[in-house]
């Protein structure tokens, strides 16, 4: 899974390691792990996460829909759930944890 981290703020943001649950039509497919990283002020960075599918509990109809979405639409709508730890970085000092706004477009 590839997503873009955009920081439009005037300060840098340090993101901690994050774990997400990846879901397809309400069914958990697996877990995604994103390593921690630093995002400079006014910057954009592509971040890659690998989805580990340990056991997908797909019914045959759900599996058919997943295959149909990938072949016909060339994309699959996924829901990504999880928490992200972030800190503001000013002059090499980290703030306490802050709340961040995430927008996933997959």
- If one compares 59 and 24, the residue with the highest pLDDT of the two is 24
pTM: 0.66
Per-residue model confidence (pLDDT) at position 98: 60
* Domain assignment present for 25: yes
Q: Is residue 105 part of a domain?
A: no
| CATH (domain of 90) | 2.60.40
Q: Give the structural domain span for 23.
A: 2-98
Question: Per-residue pLDDT for 105 more than 50?
Answer: no
The answer to whether residue 103 scores a pLDDT higher than 60 is no
Please indicate, yes or no, if residue 103 is contained in any of the structural domains.
Answer: no
Helices (H), 5-102: 60-72
Any domain includes 74: yes
Number of domains composing the chain: 1
Query: How far is 58 from 26, CA to CA, in rounded Å?
Result: 10
DSSP 6: E
CA atoms within 13 A on the CB side of 45: 16
The answer on pLDDT for 62 being more than 80 is no
């Amino acid at each position: 899974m590839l997503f873009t981290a955009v920081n439009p703020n005037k300060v840098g943001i340090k993101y901690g390691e994050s774990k997400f649950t990846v879901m397809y039509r309400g069914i958990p497919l697996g877990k995604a792990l994103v390593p921690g990283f630093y995002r400079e002020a006014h910057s954009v960075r592509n971040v890659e996460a690998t989805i580990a599918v340990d056991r997908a509990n797909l019914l045959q109809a759900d599996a058919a829909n997943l295959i149909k979405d990938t072949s016909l639409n060339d994309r699959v709508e996924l829901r990504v759930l999880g928490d992200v730890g972030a800190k503001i970085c000013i002059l090499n000092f980290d703030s306490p944890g802050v709340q961040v706004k995430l927008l996933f477009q997959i």
